[in-house]
Structure 1
Amino acid sequence: MFKQFKIVASAAAVAAVFAAPGAVMADEQFFPIPSYRVGPYGANGEAFYGGFVDYLNYVNMKNGGINGVKITWEECETEYNNAKGVECYERLKSKAKASAGPIHTMSTGISYALVDKSAQDKLPLAMMGYGRTDAVDGSVFPYAFPLITTYQMQASAIVKFIKDKEKGSLEGKKIVFLYHDSAYGKEPIVALEAESRLNKFNLVQIPVAHPGNEQGAQWLKIRQEKPDYVIFWGWGVMNQTALKAAQKVGFPRDKIIGSWWAGSEEDTVPAGDAAKGYMSATWNVAGKNVPLITDIEKVVYGAGQGNVKDKSKLGTILYNRGVSAAVVSVEAIYKAQEKYGKGKGMNGEQVRWGLENLNVTDARLKALGATGLLPEVKTSCSNHEGSGKVKIQQWDGAKWVPVSDWIEGNKSLIHPLFEASAKQYAKEKGITPRDCSKEK
């Protein structure tokens, strides 16, 4: 069912933010949002989409929209369920004909289900840090954007971090890959297998069934294997369960490095002391020391129009990640307006062009007050990822602390994997890839 977000504000303020039901005007920029705030992963979605919507509202309130174009949006509850995600997309897409911001499902399964549909409908699908990662090859996937960085590049960056800790060699080491037994969890396997061959370490793969609150057998195996490190691809309740299980079997948490979906306060706080020392990758920092986050609190929450009921979530990893996703989305619309006309709502095809020609520099991030929030992003027809960099952060018992600078995965090893997969997909689907040399 549709779930149009309602902010705590006057009727006039609400009217200024939302289009009337069924009507999206050309001078508005509509964001269809298939979100989830209930279900097993609802706490994660609440923080992410709270940050996302707060930034859209912030742009309206602070800047009067995107070059004067008011941003509107509507949410539809997916419960992180693939079928409901597709249903939400189908219901929202009719409102996105005149203008359409990038669609963020925050779900690999839902994004897989929408890759073909969104291309047919000419609506851009943003998959920031998740989704079909061979969509990095925009010649085959013109409407799909696995922005910032991908699971494979993240896995490669984690391996690089571990290698540095081991003084430049992983030969003979044993690394367990403990993962959510889903499309999300399986995505980085091809990259880790390639890394294990290149760096000559033993890779042991251990899946965990959804939702992941039963891991006794997996951690018994880990204790038996005695790995040097565990690379952890968890999600939701699986994450705190793993940290508690690691403590129980005596595996050091500072030898566990999780993915960015296993590295939020929602994962560590419930685990208590069992989380201390645990590390994870991230493409965005936590905290309110980022000027943009502080200003959102001042402008949006100061006016009583905040999206998140629990203000303690402001500045958390997932809240800031939602803000970073919205920043990149709005920047794509600014870019599209440069080509197709400032002060106009951009349709799906135009926003797709903006996403493919992003150049979000450090200077631009500084101007937005987002220095350090996320890495620079520069996309092209042949590279819908745009960065490939992560930081490693560590939980000190109370907060996330960065313990590395930006680390880029082994692009020369990983990107050919994307290209080969995309080429096979094109063959199976009868797609003639675009000539990226002719795209501008």
Structure 2
Amino acid sequence: MTVSFRPARRVLGLTLLALAGLGAASAPALAAPNEQFVPLPTYRVGPYASSGTLWWAGILDYFRYINEVEGGINGVKLVWQECETEWSTDRIVECYERFKNGRDGAPTAFFFTHSTPASYALMDKGAADHIPLIDPAGGRTESTDGGVFPYAFPLLLNYYSQASVGINFIAQREGGFDKLKGKKIATVYHDSAYGRETQAAIALLAKKYGFENIQIPVADPGNEQSAQWRQVRQAKPDWIFLRTWGVSTPVAIKTAARFGFPVDHIIGDVWAGSEADVLPAGAAAKGYKAIAPFPGGAQFEIHKRLKKAILDAGKSDLKDPKFFGSVYYNIGLINAATAVEALRTGQQKFGNRPLNGEEGRWAFEHLDITDARLKEIGFYGLLQKIKLSCNEHEGGGAARLQEWDGSKWVQITDWVQADRPTLRPLIDQKAAAYAKEKGITPRDCRKAG
């Protein structure tokens, strides 16, 4: 996900600044020949620091666990370099350019963009450089089609799938898809590329099921929404799909309450469903629901392992332990685990050594995390099973729904699957249009190795 609107400030790192021009506060020792390098475009300061600190803590805690408990990935240690970006697209691109070829002899196998605008900005560069761009639950939706986009992976739940999961959940609550006919479903969305990304999918689903599709934009930063919720009150929708971000989410929840819209009929998308989105809203948020491919909670097996080996040992990147198991921390864990499992998959073909970008692409395209494997690595229930291929760069395609009970997120469903048969033709149309625009000859995925 992701949007960034404010100019970035120069943040000085502790080491390697003269060489890198970017921060490196948590980078381990310099790379050796048997180490895999991972550039990290972090955001520990600036407007999104409250989420970034938790997100990256989850990634780094899992990387340290792999290095210190498991001895690396088949003996290959992970090393990393942080680039402080404040979620500025320009600085994420700068980080990519600086480290796309690795560091100190250790190659780069993939690049976390963690930003939809950055994924768009780097799309051509990643393809030209043969560096996979990884953006779970974000990125460019049509990059699900790996035939056209071999180096972009909107893992787990692309934006179309997020819309579909929300509609499918509403159908469950209403008693079936036939009950959607004549209903009014309003999307209150951040007026940005991120917020508008689901519009085509919702329009398609509205046509299929016969519900009225109401779209209401919220201008950045969204700290005043009386006009929007006055529109909601006039339209009288049955359900609201909330696709806001940052401060606009708690403001939306509080304003909805002020205008009398029931919070238990508001469903936040992936990026409007963290503790940071509900705590500032106070009592008004109780009953609010959100789509969660990254559910909150510290009850999973991996949390037990991390607490013992990392947190209790004083090695965690998490500054405040009360956020252990928070939604954003768990996002970091899941992103790190999918990357580690992809690298492990690639080693099965290329040997137990560091992988380059082309090998990283092969690794992600052959990623297959089964329920049995999820149990082995301690992620069962936290991460959905996922299988990728040349033609399928999303995998997963499901999310749980969670509800805020006033103090914590509670899972209220099992995995709800998106309507891929309906959505995939639309994705393929957009991918084909992109290929035509760019003069790309799509890969024949039937022949892909």
| Category of TM-score, reference length = shorter chain | over 0.9
Amino acid of the structure 1 residue aligned with 2:243: W
| 2:124 is the counterpart of 1:120 | no
Amino acid of the structure 2 residue aligned with 1:351: G
How far apart are 1:105 and its partner, in Å? 2.4
Partner of residue 10, structure 1:
none
Partner of residue 70, structure 2:
63
* Counterparts in 2 of 1:223 and 1:390: CA distance versus 1, 3 Å: same
Amino acid of the structure 2 residue aligned with 1:394: E
Q: Secondary structure at the match of 2:403?
A: strand
1:263 to 268, 273, 277: 273
Q: Secondary structure at the match of 1:365?
A: helix
How far apart are 1:16 and its partner, in Å? 12
Partner of residue 77, structure 1:
84
How far apart are 1:98 and its partner, in Å? 4.2
% identical equivalent positions: 47
| 2:40 is the counterpart of 1:33 | yes
Length, aligned pairs only:
429
Unaligned runs of 5+ in 2: 1-9, 16-23
* Counterparts in 2 of 1:221 and 1:408: CA distance versus 1, 3 Å: same
| 2:342 is the counterpart of 1:353 | no
Provide the C-alpha distance between the structure 1 equivalents of 2:379 and 2:90, rounded to a whole number of angstroms.
35
Provide the C-alpha distance between the structure 2 equivalents of 1:16 and 1:265, rounded to a whole number of angstroms.
25
Greater mean deviation of Cα atoms: 104-113 or 123-132: 104-113
| 2:98 is the counterpart of 1:91 | yes
Q: Secondary structure at the match of 1:175?
A: strand
**Residues 165-187 of structure 1, C-alpha deviation per residue, up to 9 Å, x if partnerless?**
11112111111111111111111
Provide the C-alpha distance between the structure 1 equivalents of 2:394 and 2:136, rounded to a whole number of angstroms.
9
How far apart are 1:314 and its partner, in Å? 0.8
Per the normalisation by structure 2, the TM-score is: 0.92
Partner of residue 11, structure 1:
none
How far apart are 1:284 and its partner, in Å? 2.2
Deviating 4+ runs (over 4 angstroms): 1-6, 14-17
Partner of residue 5, structure 2:
none
2:334 to 318, 321, 324: 324
Amino acid of the structure 2 residue aligned with 1:248: R
Q: Secondary structure at the match of 2:252?
A: helix
How far apart are 1:303 and its partner, in Å? 2.3
Pairing of 1:169-208 with structure 2 (within 5 A) = 169-208=179-218
How far apart are 1:102 and its partner, in Å? 2.8
Provide the C-alpha distance between the structure 2 equivalents of 1:99 and 1:63, rounded to a whole number of angstroms.
21
How far apart are 1:261 and its partner, in Å? 0.7
Partner of residue 100, structure 1:
108
Contact 2:26 2:81 in 1 (8 A): no
**Residues 115-164 of structure 1, C-alpha deviation per residue, up to 9 Å, x if partnerless?**
11111111111010001010010011111001111110111111011012
How far apart are 1:337 and its partner, in Å? 0.3
Partner of residue 384, structure 1:
393
Q: Secondary structure at the match of 1:274?
A: helix
Unaligned runs of 5+ in 1: 7-13
Amino acid of the structure 2 residue aligned with 1:115: M
Provide the C-alpha distance between the structure 2 equivalents of 1:323 and 1:5, rounded to a whole number of angstroms.
25
Partner of residue 425, structure 2:
416
How far apart are 1:269 and its partner, in Å? 1.1
Contact 1:232 1:258 in 2 (8 A): yes
Contact 2:99 2:108 in 1 (8 A): no
Amino acid of the structure 2 residue aligned with 1:163: A
Partner of residue 438, structure 2:
429
How far apart are 1:17 and its partner, in Å? 6.7
Contact 1:3 1:75 in 2 (8 A): no
How far apart are 1:15 and its partner, in Å? 12
* Counterparts in 2 of 1:56 and 1:217: CA distance versus 1, 3 Å: same
| 2:287 is the counterpart of 1:280 | no
**Residues 324-378 of structure 1, C-alpha deviation per residue, up to 9 Å, x if partnerless?**
0000000000000000001x11111111111000100010010001110111000
Contact 1:17 1:57 in 2 (8 A): no
How far apart are 1:66 and its partner, in Å? 0.6
Provide the C-alpha distance between the structure 1 equivalents of 2:84 and 2:131, rounded to a whole number of angstroms.
19
| 2:369 is the counterpart of 1:366 | no
Q: Secondary structure at the match of 1:394?
A: strand
Partner of residue 150, structure 1:
158
Contact 2:27 2:82 in 1 (8 A): no
